[in-house]
Chains A and B, each alone.
Chain A
C-alpha cells in the first residue's frame, strides 16, 4: 500500500534572540489522495510552519526534523534541494495567504504562469500558454487571454488568488497545501474561492491540506481535522466527529466560542478560553494547555505528551481523559 503523505514526529526549531523557539513539536498525521485535511489552530500555533517544513521552505535559521516524512513513497527528509525543487510546483503545490504580494510585480501574469510548467515539463510556449488559459477558465476568470498580458498590480485580490490557484495547478499536482487562502479576502469572495478549491480538488483528485483558523471553513470543507495548539497536534479525527464530540479541552473550548445553529440558544453567552498562548522557547515539558485548562491537575506538568488513539482515526493527547 503506497503512502500518499505520511508525517511522523515532524518538528521545527527556530533560532531567536531569546533562545530556541519550538515552532512545531512532534506533529504526526496522514493524508490520503483525494482527501481534505483541515489543520486548525490559532495564529502562531505552527500550522504554516508545518506546511513550510513539508515543502522545505523554512525561513533561514529554521531547522526541521522528523522520524518520517514520506510523499508518494519518496522520503522528503533526505531529498536534496534539487530533488525538492523538482517536486515543488510539479507534484506538490502551495498557495499562500497574501495574494497581494505573492506575485512578482515586474512580470505579466502569463509569464509567471507559463514559467511553472516550463520548469517541470517539456512543453512549447504555445502549449504552456494554452494550459494557462484552460486553467484560468477553470478557476472562473473570464477573458483569460487578455488577462495573461496584465500585471499583478492591475488585478484585485480575489483575482490574484485565483491566479495563484491556477498557478498551483499548472503541472497537475497530486497534493495541494492551502495556507489560509481566504483570510485576506473579502467575505463575499471567500465563499467563492472555497467552493472553487472543493470542486478542483474533486476534479483533479488531489490531496488537500487546508490550513485555517476559521472553524466554519473547516466544517464545510474538510474530511478530517487536526487541531493544533502551541506547535503540537492535540486532537485528530473525522470532521463530523470532532464537531459533534470534541474530546480535548482546547477543542471543546474552541467549539464553545462559536455559535452553532440549532445548539446555541439565543442570549446564551459564548465561551472563551482564559489566559494567553505561551511562547514555546527553551526546554518544555508537560501539556502546553495546562495553564488555561479547567481539567488541569498537577500530573499534567510532568508527563510527556502521548497521543492516544481512542478509536481508529481518532486521537487525542489529553492525559485526563
Chain B
C-alpha cells in the first residue's frame, strides 16, 4: 500500500501547463509584447506618416479595402495597422511604468501599516481611505488639465492614483504573515526590523504582489485609454489606442472600424493580462477553484 505523492514542483508545472486561463492569457500577452518589441519590423508603414489623398480607407475585408493598408487608414491617411502596432508600445509603457510607481507607494504603505499596526496602521488606513474616496478619474483629469498633458505626466498621475489596491492587499497579507511563527522567531533572535521585513515577510508577499501588479497594469492601461479618449492623456500625433478611438469617434457612424479596431486591441491586451493574473492566482493558491 505504497502511495507516491507528487512533489510541489511537479504539481506547479502540471498546473501551469493545463490551466487554460494562464496559457490563453499568456499567449495574448506574448502577442502584444511581440508587436511592441518588433514594431519597426512588423508595421508596414510609418505610423505618423500622413497621406491626405488616402483618408479613411476601410480595412481589407471591406470591398474598397486594399492589402496595402490591411486595417485601413484614419482621417489623416495614416495606416491603421501600423498605428495599432505602435500603440501597443504606448499602452505597455504606460501600464508598466504606472504600475511600478503605484507598487512602490502601495507596497511601502501596506507593509508598514500591516507590520507595525497600532497608530501607524491607523494613519495608513486613513490615507488609503482618503485616496479611495477621491473620484480618481476626475482628479486625474483635473490635474492633467492644469499641469499640461503628456506621456510622462500621465504615467506620474496614474501611478499616484492606482496604488490603493497594492496597499490594501499587502497590508492584509502582511498582517497575516507578521503573526507567523517564523517571524516571531526572527524577532526573538533580535533581527533588525528591516531585515525581518526584507528577508522574512517580503518573500511571502511575492505571490500577491505579482497578482496585484497584473491587475494594476490593466487598470492603468484602461485609465490611460480613458484619459486619452477625453484628450487629457497622451497627445497627438502619438498613436495611443484611446486617442485613436477619440479621433475616430466623429466618423464612427459610417466607418465603425475606426473605433472598433483600437478597442479590440485594448480588449486583447487587458484580457490577456487579466487571464494571466487569474491563472497565476489559481496556480499559486487554488482555493475555491480546483
Find out whether A and B make contact in their complex, taking CB atoms under 8 A apart as touching: yes
Chain A contact surface mostly: loop
User: Is A281 part of the binding interface, using a Cβ–Cβ cutoff of 8 Å?
Assistant: yes
Q: Which of B1-28 contact A (CB under 8 A)?
A: 1, 3-6
User: Is A18 part of the binding interface, using a Cβ–Cβ cutoff of 8 Å?
Assistant: yes
Would you call B3 and A18 a contact (CB within 8 A)?
yes
User: Is A284 part of the binding interface, using a Cβ–Cβ cutoff of 8 Å?
Assistant: yes
User: Is A19 part of the binding interface, using a Cβ–Cβ cutoff of 8 Å?
Assistant: yes
Would you call A18 and B5 a contact (CB within 8 A)?
yes
Give the docked Cα–Cα distance between A319 and B134 (Å). 77
Q: Which residues of A contact B3 (CB under 8 A)?
A: 18-19, 279, 281-282
Give the docked Cα–Cα distance between A112 and B3 (Å). 44
Q: Which residues of B contact A17 (CB under 8 A)?
A: 6
Q: Which residues of B contact A19 (CB under 8 A)?
A: 3
B10 shortest CB reach to chain A, Å: 12
Q: Which residues of A contact B6 (CB under 8 A)?
A: 17-18
Q: Which residues of B contact A105 (CB under 8 A)?
A: none
User: Is A259 part of the binding interface, using a Cβ–Cβ cutoff of 8 Å?
Assistant: no
Q: Which residues of B contact A282 (CB under 8 A)?
A: 1, 3
B261 shortest CB reach to chain A, Å: 45
Q: Which residues of B contact A281 (CB under 8 A)?
A: 1, 3
A25 shortest CB reach to chain B, Å: 13
Give the docked Cα–Cα distance between A19 and B4 (Å). 10
Interface string of A21-40 (1 = CB under 8 A from B): 00000000000000000000
User: Is A299 part of the binding interface, using a Cβ–Cβ cutoff of 8 Å?
Assistant: no
Give the docked Cα–Cα distance between A279 and B3 (Å). 8
Nearest to A286 among chain B residues (CB) is B1
User: Is A240 part of the binding interface, using a Cβ–Cβ cutoff of 8 Å?
Assistant: no
A317 shortest CB reach to chain B, Å: 17
B36 shortest CB reach to chain A, Å: 39
Nearest to A19 among chain B residues (CB) is B3
Give the docked Cα–Cα distance between A311 and B1 (Å). 32
Q: Which residues of A contact B1 (CB under 8 A)?
A: 278-282, 284
Nearest to A301 among chain B residues (CB) is B1
Nearest to B5 among chain A residues (CB) is A18
Nearest to A280 among chain B residues (CB) is B1
Q: Which of A277-313 contact B (CB under 8 A)?
A: 278-282, 284
Interface string of B75-88 (1 = CB under 8 A from A): 00000000000000
A296 shortest CB reach to chain B, Å: 14
Nearest to B4 among chain A residues (CB) is A18
Give the docked Cα–Cα distance between A94 and B3 (Å). 34
Q: Which of B48-103 contact A (CB under 8 A)?
A: none
Give the docked Cα–Cα distance between A127 and B1 (Å). 57
Give the docked Cα–Cα distance between A18 and B5 (Å). 6
Nearest to A278 among chain B residues (CB) is B1
Nearest to B11 among chain A residues (CB) is A17
Nearest to A288 among chain B residues (CB) is B1
Give the docked Cα–Cα distance between A220 and B194 (Å). 60
Q: Which residues of A contact B5 (CB under 8 A)?
A: 18
A44 shortest CB reach to chain B, Å: 15
Q: Which residues of A contact B4 (CB under 8 A)?
A: 18
A216 shortest CB reach to chain B, Å: 32
Interface string of A218-245 (1 = CB under 8 A from B): 0000000000000000000000000000
Give the docked Cα–Cα distance between A284 and B3 (Å). 11
Q: Which residues of B contact A18 (CB under 8 A)?
A: 3-6
Nearest to B1 among chain A residues (CB) is A278
Give the docked Cα–Cα distance between A152 and B5 (Å). 41
Give the docked Cα–Cα distance between A281 and B3 (Å). 7
Give the docked Cα–Cα distance between A279 and B1 (Å). 8
* Interface residue ranges, B against A (CB under 8 Å): 1, 3-6
With A17-B6, A281-B1 given, name 9 new contacts (CB 8 A).
A18-B4, A18-B5, A19-B3, A278-B1, A280-B1, A281-B3, A282-B1, A282-B3, A284-B1
* 10 closest Cβ pairs, A-B complex: A281-B3, A278-B1, A18-B5, A18-B3, A279-B3, A282-B3, A284-B1, A19-B3, A282-B1, A280-B1
Give 6 CB contacts A-B under 8 Å: A17-B6, A18-B3, A18-B5, A18-B6, A280-B1, A281-B3
